[in-house]
Structure 1
């Protein structure tokens, strides 16, 4: 009898090299923004795309023993990327796995976790990567903020068993911090990036960004860090900035003090999408290549959630108006926009919240469906530093693909709900299998599962929009 430990099962592992599949006859929308290419074959060997060409140019005989998948009449797009999720605030492994499974079967093959309890997120990333769980690949950030931020209750939720601000995934930074050591500790979590969050002046933001880049990490930041303004965050070298409505603070005349003491929103000033201070900021972002993680539909979702506080709902609606206007202005200015949701886990939803973000960008922000898909694929891949591996349908990239039964260029919303098959690293996941498992509301699945498992640890709640921006 062997003494070797039995490994965990990997039913969702990447396809092995030598397992060749020809996806034939689809209209391929490659994620670059180019029009669809009808009658196209995508050849996948293991987890990689090895050929993309017109059907007439690909002879199946050249791939002896390959599996042929007929996609005539279907549309093939790259796997979608959610560039703003939170999977462990507070940690709840069953909820996180259920959310990730739902997202994968809805077309999301990659996600960016924007700081959580990385002890759990790191293991989720490992389990997703090797195929223990059905989930998108995960990239994640370790957070840094000023010491005054750490009275926020979320910092305790993600630091159970440790001290908030004094652990590698969530560090308080001040003028006495050894930044090379702090960044090295963040890097030791296997994070892709440092997330610069709140209560830091501009010079400290710049110092953190410079050291993170020196050590090979990306820099993801709140669009306003308080007291650091958006223009200062961009000038510091942030690779991406989150939450479009935080950009209004570029035009704030008085001093910015703390994350918790934001100046009131002047909706009338920004609702037209033509404020000159914001236009200058967008010019700087375009020149530097700073990606806007807009989370544009977030405030509409908060307003729709209702509740007893009518004044809070009205504030959320005002934020939603500004969100649409500023995101449209950013798009017109040539700023690259990724598609993040910042949506709290909700297992009553049949489809990923990312679908709503994509439709919002099209219907409210003036982006064409092909531009939206480019944001959700190529730009999403750039936002997490993975564009060499994913984000487009081209030779050499990972075989992260979504088969749709409807044309997204004609009706984006309908097409996103027509997912037939999701391919992640060459491993196929059929939407029908998800539905037969009962994992949709109205069946003994998502709704019941939410009730059963969400109570183990209370799911995070969105803060009052009067004082807080979601994570």
Structure 2
């Protein structure tokens, strides 16, 4: 070859090293749970934060671009720790949803199993800046062979046999687990997700082999027949869906994902439950993160009510109440909470569903807003193993930031919907004309600084 062919345009590429931007005058909520810091400057060089200091003490480099954030609040970019962007694959819808989420302050997303042929390319396109989207960290799925009659597995394995592909593997007693984990790693997945229809000893064996190969494991809180306590004891790094934890109290043995036993809703909404306390204490000791998806049933209830489905509405309301009670108890027991949504992609929605999860945690679960923001940022980064690079406003970390025009400690929902600017890897994404169908909003002005 005598010439290199240019690839696709990268209009949203990370900022280049040596490009210095200074964000001055904001009240910074850094994501660590610390109190807000008014009149604070954040200095960004390329895609990294290099300094965070009071305005009066901050040095502004010559020729830096200065963004005046007086009267604004600056928080870390939000992280949705439970999404599915390609079930079934639909590239235009996925790109629209990811762009909407980014402009709503979401700078990273944990994709919990999809058609990884498409998700991997979306992740690459986001990382290099071909598309405006959060960074994507995704899982390769493992489940028992009986799970693969689920139509969703067909949707994400089109052209091949479900359960036989590296991103979605059926695990049987004779499965070569070292090879299965190596195949999953070959998809460039961040983690393995253990989904359903596996006994506790198999969940433990998958987890041990994955950890031996340096791969985290994300699991459903009950894997059926594996119980919640067996899943947690296996050493998985995170568990999803707080309402699945109640199956620890099942009055019969768990069998399969589709055959869930009845739930005593009154028991789990009536106050702190001793059996749940034991689970939560074990999670806290082990450092197991809870991806609660707490608001999921509230969303289902609202949809069912709109569609006139009274039976589903009633069931969803009871599950939403239980999710609120259990998530609040988990927080009181010191469990690390991540903020996932598990919502179907809806490009017509104006705001990311993650906003609803945060408001649910604050208003329905009674969790302090600073803790909610920490869950949506630093704990979210921990859930994808990326806390060295993201999740808080600190020197050395990626410049993943969201700028709000209202105080989140006063009204979290209103503040999230006051977002003016998202910064991802140092690249500014202004919320204005880029949001199709919605009126532009003013963004903070930038200027060149002439002197130190």
What TM-score do the two structures reach when normalised by structure 1?
0.92
CA distance 1:441–1:252, change in 2 (3 Å): farther
User: Deviation digits for residues 298-329 of structure 1, max 9, x if unmatched?
Assistant: 00100100234321221111111111110011
Secondary structure, counterpart of 2:256 in structure 1: coil
What secondary structure sits across from 1:195 in the alignment?
Answer: strand
- 1:2 Cα deviation after fit: 6.7
- Kindly state the Cα deviation for residue 253 of structure 1 after the two structures are TM-superposed: 2.5
Corresponding residue for residue 26 of structure 2: 26
* Pairing 1:147-226 to 2, within 5 Å after superposition: 147-226=145-224
Offset at residue 441 of structure 1 (A): 9.2
Q: Match for residue 134 of structure 1? A: 132
- Which of residues 101, 109, 112 is equivalent to 1:111? 109
Deviation at 1:5, TM superposition (A): 1.8
Assess if the C-alpha contact under 8 Å between 2:250 and 2:263 holds in 1: no
Q: Given the alignment of the two structures, is residue 419 of structure 1 paired with residue 432 of structure 2, yes or no?
A: no
Give per-residue Cα distances to partners, 1:114-151, cap 9 Å, x unaligned. Answer: 00000000000000000000000000000000001011
Local SS of the residue matching 2:193:
strand
Distance in 1 (alpha carbons) for counterparts of 2:270 and 2:382: 29
Partners of 2:411 and 2:154 lie apart in 1 by 44
Aligned 1:34-433 pairs, distance under 5 A: 34-60=34-60, 63-306=61-304, 307-433=307-433
Q: Which residue of 2 aligns with 1:455?
A: none
Q: Return closer, same or farther for 1:409/1:218 CA change in 2, 3 Å cut-off.
A: same
Deviations 1:324-380 (A, max 9, x none): 110011011110100000000112210100000000000001111111000000000
What are the Cα deviations for residues 36-95 of structure 1, in whole angstroms up to 9, with x where unaligned?
A: 1011100000000000001111122xx121111111111100000000000111000000
Give unmatched runs, 5+ long, in structure 1.
443-471
Unaligned runs of 5+ in 2: 441-452
The SS at the match of 1:305 is helix
Q: Aligned equivalents of 2:201 and 2:73: distance in 1? A: 48
User: Aligned to 2:433, what secondary structure does the other structure show?
Assistant: helix
Check whether the contact 1:87–1:113 (CA below 8 A) recurs between aligned residues: yes
CA contact (8 A) 2:289 2:337 kept: yes
Aligned-pair distance for 1:269? 1.0
Distance (whole Å) between structure 2 residues aligned to residue 441 and residue 305 of structure 1: 26
Contact 1:378/1:387, CA 8 A, preserved across alignment:
yes
Aligned residues: 438
